[in-house]
A = this chain, B = another copy of it.
């Protein structure tokens, strides 16, 4: 029986699948096919809102905005290319886990790693809330009847993603493969078709469904406006670090699998960003005002302009909507793995490092789901106001990770034995450029979004770091006080003085006394009474007479010191106080002796039996554990 997998409630089994054994760990690792949906949804979904975010900032320029979007998106794709190369190197250098946390820890020290951890953790939680609510907002704007269901829909999608990830990263990757690949295929197709028509018509294609015409310029372009457009468009880059943070999920050869996955995600993302920027210019598509009726997203306008409002349009838009709503999955893959590493370093509670029934870190998954659900509920499923808080965490970790890699290569260069100094210099240069550009972008983003809410992130990150440090200090203190080098000390092995709680003379107390006398020759039975006056005396006399006949006499006959029976008044009906008093008196009277309390109890077999008993033993145990200095507890369950 104890050999097979543990039995579990049926519902859990259906929802989460059978429990997995430790030896199945390798078989549960994933390749690029599952990794692109599992880790890439965040990045790919960025293509749906990144260009739109930049165009929204440029909207006051009217038709002139299209003159700048190419430049802004070009800058962003350039930065993306730098990040791609940097993370490619990081994955090769840290094949077991190339996340910002590890890279910072190894190269920049504990404080930098905690900064990375705090930024990433906040970013992941925000990503879940914002991603799901953006997806639901898109759905609700397409089907306005669903508006009253905004929050329930958000929570249902959160529940779906949570369950999929509790089943394991492999399951999540497979579940979400269809919408992911459908989205990429649809929009790559639309872009190819649109670009072909644009080129064929020398840059002046005729839209199938014409986008609304763009208004005249309300203001002229300023550097500040362009900087803000860049900062907003940078949200398109969040999710690029996901592969490096989730390296432990890959099967062998994991560097290669990581590289392929990274290349596929970044390749698809870059294609989509460039394509959208090009087609927007060619087809004169700008951002519409979301707050006005008749709003349609940039992707929707583009798709309609290229393929019209036929079935292809609806398939593409449905997949875009699914990708947006499921973009939270990336957080669910990386957050638990990050928390596991932080917990193993002693900066988060130990349960974050424990593998659950499906070999994923269930505590992290549930914590992420809980935190995101709280945000969704507090904001009623509309998390627009959280978006400004969002990109900071991502760019902070980009910068930390790149800077860490610069130190990594410098150390490698300093190591005289190692060869390949030219390639290491090249690596260093690439990471330095990456770090400098993401650092610069971070400054732009913080400045551009500070008033809109970025200041909250700037405050919350130090608070989280403080919390992580407090947890670390607790575990370090605990380890110091637990440390014990000397061998076992067996100078005093006198058995403890045993107190046995007795309710009446019955099978339970008989079994408890047998056990007590087998453990220690010094046994004191205690009976607690709430009665007062003549009732109490009659009860007391009856019990004492029973005790003499049923316990003291046979104990004496068997050569034992007869156990005494003490009757204690439970004046306030709390059981633990009189018992504690007796234990304290004994400790004072016999210094150095251990005192143990034996609690006989009925073993409850069925749930309803819990309702039928007062759980005196459970309550006494809980109170003694909380208050008693050095009392050992012995529980003797009795079964009918």
Contact = CB atoms under 8 A, between A and B. Distances in A.
Interface in A1-32: 2-3, 5-6, 19-23, 25
Contact of A554 (B357, B488, B571): B488
Given A507-B483, A530-B355, A518 B594 contact: yes
B487 A612 contact: no
Interface in A625-640: 625, 628-637, 639-640
A4 B553 CA distance: 37
Interface string A551-573: 10111001010000000011111
Give the interface residue-count category, chain A: 35 or more
B487 A514 contact: no
Given A2-B577, A519-B495, A577-B2, A487 B551 contact: yes
A554 B487 contact: yes
Given A493-B518, A625-B635, A630-B639, A471 B612 contact: yes
A519 B517 contact: no
A417 to B, nearest CB: 27
A484 interface: yes
Interface string A522-559: 00000000111000000000000000011101110010
Contact of A553 (B478, B487, B520, B578): B487
Contacts of A510: 484, 488-489
A355 B573 contact: yes
Contacts of A634: 596, 632-635
Give how many copies assemble into the complex: 2
Contacts of A569: 22
B2 A581 contact: yes
A201 interface: no
Of A475, A558, A631, A635, the most chain B CB neighbours within 10 A belong to: A635
Of A2, A484, A584, the most chain B CB neighbours within 10 A belong to: A2
Given A22-B532, A483-B506, A492-B514, 10 more contacts: A22-B530, A23-B571, A351-B614, A484-B510, A487-B549, A488-B554, A489-B510, A490-B558, A493-B558, A632-B637
Interface string A596-635: 1000001100000101111000000100010011111111
Interface string A467-495: 00001001100100111101111111111
Given A2-B577, A483-B507, A530-B22, A515 B558 contact: no
